Amino acid sequence: MLYPVIMAGGSGSRLWPLSRELNPKQFLPIDGSQHSMLQSTIIRLTGLNTCPPRLICNEQHRFLAAEQMRQLGFEDANILLEPVGRNTAPAIAMAALEALENHQDPILLVLAADHLVSDIPAFHLSISAAKNLAEKNKLVTFGVKASTPETGYGYIKKGTALGADGFIIDRFVEKPDLKTAEAYLASGNYLWNSGMFMFRASRYLEELERYRPDILAACRKALCDRVQDACFTRVNSAAFELCPSESIDFAVMEKTDAAAVVPLNAGWSDVGSWSALWDIGAKDNAKNVIKGDVFSHKTSDSYVHAEHRFVAAVGVKDLVIVETKDAVLVVHKEHAQDVKKIVEHLKLEKRYEHANHREVYRPWGVYDCVDNGPRYQVKRITVKPGAKLSVQMHHHRAEHWIVVSGTAKVTNGEDTYLVTENQSTYIPIGQIHSLENPGVIPLELIEVQSGSYLGEDDIVRFEDKYGRVES
């Protein structure tokens, strides 16, 4: 039985403005599917003999991850939280240590949550071949059969064949220039490095201890002091922050003499840029990939994505055009990798658009910032049935709530009462309050904030069912 480990970290900055720091691409249905990339990663395991997947994600994405797991039926999903990002070698080490505690040296199948695979049967065949090698104590990675001279991927050179299952790895190669990539493709001896792995938990830890004992020691210390918080496993933050940041390739795979590669020809993509989405998308007669309410005329070889408004493209070629509620991206496909420069600019300018959409997801539901100006802000708030916002207060703002649909249970100081459709209530500055949906349908309301400061950090929480009360 395989033990799937799914790594769901990362910010997906090259797919801005859809992917944001607090809602990155792995939690979005990037390929037009009804499921997010994380959910699709889990669904494609169907038909394999596996344990329930072990998910590793960032602290700030925990509620998104838990909700998406719940939607797939994993009500009791146990999610390992990374307090800070330390790359793949430490994350996999913690998963391997945990696996040995609960299972008899399982074979780990390590997958990224933000990859696409279109040919599931071929994917399963490669997993079967990798399992054969992992059972022989090989540390296996999956090498994607190159179809183009891609300069955005690292490469793996195949060595001696290991029967029909795979190859010894001759060497790893960093991202090449175009001329070198063309030579790799022509030779047929090189595969794209997919970043997916399979090995016994004990073998990985043996090799990590051999080559990077400092990483293993830090992970062991972090796990020793872990605590369970609802469906989340929290490791010791101070210990994990001291762990070196290193990829599994650099820490182990490029050093070990037990590395092997299994070819994968399953319609794989890491969706690393908008041009990659154009590559894999369904195209019209003019080779355009169109999503949403779009009109195109004399437009070709372009990717046009409309989220909320009508978008028209006329007389253009090789462009990526992406519209969201709060941003519009226009970039030539050849420069799609440079979208991350926009994110860097937004961070320097301390603008919110790098981190959040106008719609912001919370464990209790979602809010949309409809309008704002000096000393006021208007939000549309949706609270899930049975959910409750924290018991809180604000030092700088008052709030006026108008219920659009559903029923709100409001605590306002010493008073608790119901507010129904077309009714409203007022929360003064400094008043301790909370909002709850006691019904069976979503609660929707308009919140009008007024005051001298309207930032999200003006929240003092006294009680919270989602564990967000600061110590």
Helix ranges (H only) for 136-177 are: none
How does pLDDT run along the chain (471 residues), one tens digit per residue? Answer: 899 999 998 888 999 999 999 999 999 998 778 899 999 999 999 999 999 999 999 989 999 999 999 999 998 888 999 999 999 999 999 999 999 998 999 999 999 999 999 999 999 999 999 999 999 999 999 999 998 998 889 999 999 999 999 999 999 999 999 999 999 999 999 999 999 999 999 999 999 999 999 999 999 999 998 998 888 999 999 999 999 999 999 999 999 999 999 999 999 999 989 999 999 899 999 999 999 999 999 999 999 999 999 999 999 999 999 999 999 999 999 999 899 999 999 999 999 899 988 888 899 999 999 999 999 999 999 999 999 999 999 999 999 999 999 999 999 999 999 999 999 999 999 999 999 999 999 999 999 999 999 998 999 999 998 877 654
Residue 470, phi then psi, degrees to nearest 5: -70, 140
Burial of 347 (0-12, 13-18, 19+ CB in 10 A): middle
Determine the Cα angle at 73 with ends 70 and 79, to 5°: 50
For residue 92, the model assigns a pLDDT of 97
For residue 33, the model assigns a pLDDT of 82
Token look-up 């970043």 returns 195
Structural domains present in the chain? 2-269 (3.90.550.10), 274-339 (no CATH), 359-463 (2.60.120.10)
For residue 470, the model assigns a pLDDT of 57
Encode pLDDT of 242-264 as tens digits.
999 999 999 999 999 999 999 99
For residue 24, the model assigns a pLDDT of 94
For residue 152, the model assigns a pLDDT of 85
For residue 471, the model assigns a pLDDT of 41
d(CA 1, CA 174): 33
d(CA 111, CA 268): 12
3-class secondary-structure state, position 237: helix
